[in-house]
Structures are given as C-alpha cells and as structure tokens.
Copies of this chain bind each other. A is one copy, B any other.
Amino acid sequence: QSSVTLSGIVDVNVQRFDSGSVGKATMVGNGGLSTSRLVFRGTEDLGGGLYAGFWLEGSINPDTGEGRNSNLNNQPSGAVAGTAGTVGFKFDRQSYVSLGTKSLGELRMGHDFIPTHWNSIYFDPFNANGVARAGNLTFAGVTTAPLPSAITASNSVSYWLPANLGGVYGLVMVAAGENSSNAANAHDGNLAGFRLGYAAGPFDVAVAMTRTRNTASATIGDYTHANVGGTYNAGFAKFFALYNTVKVKLSTGDLRKDTMEVGAHIPVGPAGRIRLSYAVLDDRSAAALTNANGSARSSNDVRQWGIGYVHDLSKRTALYGTYASMSNRGQAAYALSGGRAPLPGEKTTGLEVGIRHSF
C-alpha cells in the first residue's frame, strides 16, 4: 500500500551509572543515540501544488517492551505516572494531520514537538538523547521532573514556513489546555511558541520560544522555555552552541535556569565521529526560592560534560559509546538521562555502549 510508510528506530544499550551516595547501577537502556520509535506516515499529492499528509509516531522502550505516556492538556493534571508494566504504546511523539503547499507552507493539527524542542535536538551535539544530552538540564522544571509541555504539546495547531525562503525556516504553534472558560484555571495549558532559523552553507542558526500558561503555585506557574543555538560545519569538525532559558513564574518567586552548551562532532575516518559537549547550568532564581536546607536555590548550578564516539556500520546502523559526567553544585540534584538522581550537590557519571538500527 503506497499511501503509508512504516519506519522506525530500535536503539538499545548497556549502561553503567554512578550516582554517588545513591549507588551504582548497571542497566540496559534505550535511545542513547536516537529515541526508539515506530512511525506510520504518508503524504498525498492533491494537485495544484497542494498536499495532505499524516504522521503517527510513538516512542518505544525496547529494553522492557513498554511505551511512554503523553500529557493530554499541557498541565500537571494531564499525565500521571503509569503503573509499572502497564504503559502501552501510543503516539506520544508526533500525531498530526497536515495540509500544505511547497510555496505557502504547511498547517499541522494534533500532538507535536514544541517549537523550542527542535533547537534542543539539532543544536545539542548529543541530539537530545543519551546520558550526555543537554536536556538533562533543560527539560526539568521546579524539580528534576520535566515540565508538562517540556517536549511535546497536545491539542496543537502549527504553521510551518515553506522550504523556499532562501534558507529561512520556522514555525509558529498554539495549543489548547481545553479548560472551561468558567474555571479558575481557564487558561492553564494554553501554549504559544515559535521557531525561526536560517541555514546557509556551513551555518545553521535558530531561535525559539514556547510559553505555557499554568496557574501559579509553589510547583508550577506560567513557564517559558527559550533557546537560541546553531551549528557551524568547518569540515574537520562541526561545532555546536545552544543557550537555553527556562523560567517558571511560581507563586513564591520566579524560577530561572540558564543553560549554555558548546560542543562538536569530529569526523574520524569515513564512518566515525567523536562527539563532545560541555554544558553549564546557572540557576538565576529569585532569592525567595530556597532549598530544603535554607540555602538559595540560585546556588544550584551544574557542570556537565560528555564525550562519545559513533561508528556507522551503514546508513541505517551505528554502534556508539558515550560517557557523561555531571557535577551538581549547591543543592542541585540533576540526573543523567536514564540514571538515578544523586543526593543534592553530588556528582554523577554514566557510560553507555549501544546499537542503533533504523528501519
């Protein structure tokens, strides 16, 4: 059947984490290079330059067979932790219908990545995956748990610029929390964002911002994730830079975390590349926000660095290894992706070696 394309990725690895006083752990994880996924997609030529399309993509955890949850309404109430072993496959990454033309751009409606997330993928040398991803620092909210719409938004409508703008690209998105206009939290989960970029020759740069409404409390509030980043391909290496600001307007004061990451991909022979990154999280929260021990939250800074190697066995299959080291300062207790959070102020490291196969 020509109207649907079935594809996906299975990426599994063996991991070793050291989470300080919390202990070490050997694990079999997934998605160290790319998120494991199953994708059903297609496009239809409607004539006159018009096309329609659909995209249904869900993540999978091949180490356990489970799926992942999806936030329904971009609010804390929109997702609960599934009970162990019960989480089914669903289209938690992207599920939308689209309509577009090559010259006018594309309209999408459904569940999709927030505009800011594309920068998190493309301008992180670890592409938002694995132990060394910048997302260890940037997806978190008040705790180290991700904000409700940290990565995707439900109930979204987005417009994508066409590809013929001389290197300029971008999108705007709005999404609905779907609360009743009479409710106290009428605007919660409403979201708006954009991404605007420019790619030419060796350069690719973009800026993005996504703002989600939520009634202020001690754990949530209106929050904004803004980032700007880019890559420069110098041939002997491709350089990455990404700056993120996450701000949450809590009832107790503004939470703000700025994360700067720089890194590179260095080709090694025809099929290999070294990946490097260094990231610094600077907590710039209001003085009113304090840790459990009374210290200022703004002292909860982090240094993270990562090094990895990817070896392509083919266009579809790669072997990889990544090492990441994260130093929590103050009362920070961030965790590496897949690992356990250490105690506040402790260091944690992680190593993973795996296979990524695309189909």
Q: Which residues does A use to contact B, with CB under 8 Å? A: 1, 3-8, 10-14, 19, 21-28, 30, 38, 40, 42, 44, 46-47, 50, 52-54, 56, 58, 60-67, 69-73, 77-80, 82-97, 99, 109-111, 152, 154-157, 175-176, 178-183, 186, 313-314, 316-317, 340, 354-359
CB contacts (< 8 Å) of A90 on chain B: these are 65-67, 87-89
Complex: chain B residue closest to A29, CB-CB: B155
Q: How far is the CA of A7 from the CA of B3 in the complex (A)?
A: 8
Q: A72-B85, A87-B90 known; A109 and B67 CB under 8 Å?
A: no
CB contacts (< 8 Å) of A157 on chain B: these are 14, 28
Residue contact B4 to A4, C-beta cutoff 8 Å: no
Residue contact A89 to B86, C-beta cutoff 8 Å: no
CB contacts (< 8 Å) of A355 on chain B: these are 52, 97, 99, 109
CB contacts (< 8 Å) of A6 on chain B: these are 1, 4, 6, 40
Residue contact B180 to A22, C-beta cutoff 8 Å: yes
Give A99 Cβ to nearest chain B Cβ, in Å: 6
CB contacts (< 8 Å) of A67 on chain B: these are 88-90
Residue contact B86 to A82, C-beta cutoff 8 Å: yes
Residue contact B44 to A357, C-beta cutoff 8 Å: yes
Give A243 Cβ to nearest chain B Cβ, in Å: 29
Complex: chain B residue closest to A24, CB-CB: B181
CB contacts (< 8 Å) of A109 on chain B: these are 12-14, 28, 62-63, 354-355
Residue contact B180 to A10, C-beta cutoff 8 Å: no
Q: How far is the CA of A305 from the CA of B314 in the complex (A)?
A: 52
Residue contact B111 to A65, C-beta cutoff 8 Å: yes
CB contacts (< 8 Å) of A88 on chain B: these are 67, 86-90
Q: Which of B65, B69, B359 contacts A86, CB < 8 Å?
A: B69
Complex: chain B residue closest to A20, CB-CB: B182
Q: How far is the CA of A73 from the CA of B313 in the complex (A)?
A: 31
Complex: chain B residue closest to A59, CB-CB: B65
Among A42, A53, A73, A109, which residue has the most Cβ atoms of chain B within 10 A?
A: A109
Q: How far is the CA of A82 from the CA of B67 in the complex (A)?
A: 14
Give A192 Cβ to nearest chain B Cβ, in Å: 13
Q: Which of B56, B69, B152 contacts A38, CB < 8 Å?
A: B56
Residue contact A23 to B183, C-beta cutoff 8 Å: yes
CB contacts (< 8 Å) of A94 on chain B: these are 65
CB contacts (< 8 Å) of A96 on chain B: these are 10, 12, 62
Complex: chain B residue closest to A75, CB-CB: B84
Q: How far is the CA of A58 from the CA of B56 in the complex (A)?
A: 13
Residue contact B313 to A50, C-beta cutoff 8 Å: yes
Q: A6-B1, A154-B65 known; A60 and B359 CB under 8 Å?
A: no
Q: How far is the CA of A71 from the CA of B340 in the complex (A)?
A: 20
Among A44, A77, A110, which residue has the most Cβ atoms of chain B within 10 A?
A: A110
Residue contact A19 to B180, C-beta cutoff 8 Å: yes
Complex: chain B residue closest to A148, CB-CB: B85
Q: Which of B25, B63, B85 contacts A110, CB < 8 Å?
A: B63
Q: Which of B60, B71, B77, B356 contacts A56, CB < 8 Å?
A: B60
26 contacts between A and B (CB under 8 A): A1-B6, A1-B359, A3-B358, A4-B7, A10-B56, A22-B182, A23-B180, A23-B181, A25-B179, A25-B181, A27-B155, A52-B357, A60-B95, A61-B95, A63-B110, A63-B111, A64-B71, A65-B92, A65-B94, A69-B86, A80-B85, A87-B88, A88-B88, A89-B89, A97-B356, A109-B355
